[in-house]
Amino acid sequence: MSANHPAETTAPVPPPSGHPPGVHEHHRTALEKEFELERVILFSDAVFAIAITLLVIDIKFPDIPEHFDGTGTLHLFRHTIFEFVAFALSFFFIGRSWSMHLRLFRLLRRYDQRLINLNLLFLFFIVMFPFTASGMSGHVRDKFLLPVFLYVFNLTLVSLTHFLLCRYVIHGKSKLSIDGEEDQKKYTYIRSLYNLLAMAIMSSVVVLSFIVFSGRPEVTAYSCAFGGIFFILARKMAHKYGPKKPSNEPTITSK
């Protein structure tokens, strides 16, 4: 290259829209974080949907004899009825857990690795429902109540892991949540706590029924239905802490 012609240099390209350097990269990173959080939510929703779908796959219509005259219909459908009760109960618990999970993640604006780990632990026990529910519907015997206790244990761990997830977001790492919405955060936390207490009470009822009605395993199995009742009661108790909805109606002052 000739000395009379110095090397050409490329002028730095200014950031778009007159922003100072680094703003565009920060905006891109924020969009990436938002997209990654959306992926976490979509993954969680998919796990809930798969768990509910797997619940109903194992429910089969009983084999009907060719010349069946209707006698003994109840006995013929007995196993199917147990399967459907276990499905309905599990569907209710998974549905309520999804609703609470949605309410919690609505308060998030970012995530970290511990949040991912707690969420995966919570989803692990959600996806265990088809296994424990199948044990409830077809493997309970007079002297074999392990499926009942596994199911109750599953319910309790779902409530426990959701509470841990909720406590971490609202109190442990509050910077992960959006600013404001304090009433909503308090309500979400208290509702999760009350649900955990409801599951603990239900577990106690199941153990107590096993001790009192040791010769009647169906009583112990059906006592799991109290979990739904306690769930509803816990929701009503937590409802008084719920955020008040703003009224859009104008106030009319009489003259």
Work out the percent of the chain whose per-residue pLDDT is above 90: 24
Rounded CA gap, 230 and 224, in Å? 10
Q: What is the mean pLDDT of each run of 10 residues along the chain (255 residues)?
A: 47 49 51 78 94 85 72 74 83 91 91 93 94 77 74 91 94 86 88 88 81 70 69 77 58 43
Residue holding tokens 């493997």? Answer: 139
For residue 83, with 0-12 CB atoms within 10 Å meaning exposed, 13-18 middle and 19 or more buried, which class applies? buried
Q: How high is the mean pLDDT of the chain?
A: 78
Q: What span, in angstroms and rounded, lies between the C-alpha atoms of 163 and 140?
A: 30
Six-digit token pair at 111? 């995530």
Domain boundaries, the chain: 25-61+75-239
Please name the amino acid found at residue 239: H
Per-residue model confidence (pLDDT) at position 221? 65
pLDDT in tens, 60-74: 777 777 777 767 777
At 107-124, the pLDDT tens digits run: 998 888 999 999 999 999
Confidence (pLDDT) at 172: 86
